[in-house]
Structure 1
């Protein structure tokens, strides 16, 4: 530890660094602290360097504007001489470029001088799984150049920054996958509710939120769920209890199902309750323990017409007929919905049969609902 950084201050900054992936603007607090520690104008972390194909992704301290960052990505990154540094090594700009060359470069004159950036300290981090990161610390023309002490200070944080980047990438990947799968379940019109180990609601997807808001057979009471009649709710609680016992004991996943009548008289819900296998080292109480899936026959298929057309080579009219049938309408109801005669609807249906290779209406409905069209 250097003389200018106490152990307590170092620990505080490490806390900001590892908290960085959870911030709305990643590492914003850490960068501000680093800027102050190194008495600099700007601290910038480039998480994804720009290229001729994609814009870069960078986080800067409050001193640098979005316009400056955008300008760098769009126009000046290809002129920047301070790139491709030795991996995990802190170096200063003057080790790369002479002062005279720097002052006369187009990059300095067009981009750095207007923002009063002259001294730059930096490091590149290339992680084993492919992340390319850059951290740059900048001072003005009249500020002192970066010293060896400054380089040593930044070096202290590099291994921790690399670990935090790896955590960020993994969290980001998991979040992307979660959003993808959640979107797929939404498209299939299935309500999904996750409960924690105390049986309290952790999360609901959009379909489940809509069903709960309607309070027509399923509603939220406090942090828990109530379904159907008191007798239904008793059975439902017993199913959840059994799933929780299974989850806590590490037994094979329990899956149970029930039907729930709706007070409005609309079609019954189908509810499936299953335990969620715990992670090997999961210790938090607020981890998913039980998943509840609610099937609502009243929900229409969300297969986009354009996707159905492309998958089965249908005309717009044929795709409309097919989707209306998939949503539970009869051929007569579909023809009324589209304002066409029954004979015209039959002609479209025959053509659809020919293109899809099915011979009955029920087979067509099954084909559409089981295809990837509902994920479009």
Structure 2
């Protein structure tokens, strides 16, 4: 007999799943009040000032031109926003890569409006913290340790010449590894490969 999980059980399952995600995930209402934060989000708030909590509200400290987190959340919740087109924002930081934010709406399923209200999902990527795992790369694409090392360096923005110097290998060897990476990942160009690698989780779940 298959049991249907209770609402509370599903909430526990989802919280556990979110805490295994290596991106910071915040749920906020239309007033930017924080409804939930996964473990990566809580850690981000402790070490970074580009985003901060002021009372119950998630606020930005960085100026980003004409676009603000509040505007993105409002756009996500205005009823005309497509869930397939998340709003994006780059929060500059001094002497470090910017935080990269995407905001998408969450609309409760029918029948849950008495329990859940619409909210915005704010996902934050910190390039400084997104350090790819060579074991994960090896498992995903059947890479050798050397190939995984080149892939990780490429994803972190290193040029081929710098990779050769850092790994103490020749440029010919680096280019050979790159061609094998194209074949094993099904990509054709370096930019395409890097874009794919940026979607790879940074940790192993063993």
How high is the TM-score relative to the length of structure 1?
0.44
Match of 2:45 in 1: 212
Partner Cα distance (2:193, 2:75) in 1 = 39
Shift in alpha-carbon separation, 1:210–1:328, aligned structure 2, 3 A: farther
Q: CA deviation at 1:242?
A: 4.9
User: Which of these residues, 179, 182, 192, is aligned with residue 16 of structure 2?
Assistant: 179
Q: Whose RCO is larger (CA < 8 A, sep 6+)? A: 2
Match of 2:91 in 1: 260
Q: CA deviation at 1:354?
A: 4.4
1:329 partnered with 2:162? no
Corresponding pairs, count: 201
Shift in alpha-carbon separation, 1:335–1:240, aligned structure 2, 3 A: same
Partner Cα distance (1:234, 1:200) in 2 = 19
1:222 partnered with 2:55? yes
1:16-38 CA-to-partner distances (Å, cap 9, x unmatched) read: xxxxxxxxxxxxxxxxxxxxxxx
1:349 partnered with 2:178? yes
User: Which of these residues, 271, 277, 284, is aligned with residue 107 of structure 2?
Assistant: 277
1:30-53 CA-to-partner distances (Å, cap 9, x unmatched) read: xxxxxxxxxxxxxxxxxxxxxxxx
Match of 1:39 in 2: none
For residues 282-293 of structure 1, the aligned pairs below 5 Å read 282-284=113-115, 289-293=119-123
Q: CA deviation at 1:317?
A: 0.8
Q: CA deviation at 1:355?
A: 4.1
8 Å contact 1:324–1:334 — kept in the other structure? yes
Partner Cα distance (2:193, 2:203) in 1 = 14
8 Å contact 1:318–1:352 — kept in the other structure? yes
8 Å contact 1:195–1:288 — kept in the other structure? no
Match of 1:129 in 2: 2
1:353-372 CA-to-partner distances (Å, cap 9, x unmatched) read: 44445443223323434568
Q: Which runs of 5+ in 1 are unaligned?
A: 1-127, 131-165
Q: Secondary structure at the match of 1:325?
A: helix
Shift in alpha-carbon separation, 1:278–1:233, aligned structure 2, 3 A: farther
Q: CA deviation at 1:194?
A: 0.9
Partner Cα distance (1:208, 1:236) in 2 = 15
* Higher share in helix: 1
Q: CA deviation at 1:337?
A: 3.4
Partner Cα distance (2:184, 2:30) in 1 = 50
8 Å contact 1:191–1:206 — kept in the other structure? yes
How high is the TM-score relative to the length of structure 2?
0.73
8 Å contact 1:253–1:276 — kept in the other structure? no
Which structure: larger Rg?
Answer: 1
User: Which of these residues, 308, 311, 319, is aligned with residue 148 of structure 2?
Assistant: 319
1:144-183 CA-to-partner distances (Å, cap 9, x unmatched) read: xxxxxxxxxxxxxxxxxxxxxx655x64355324433552
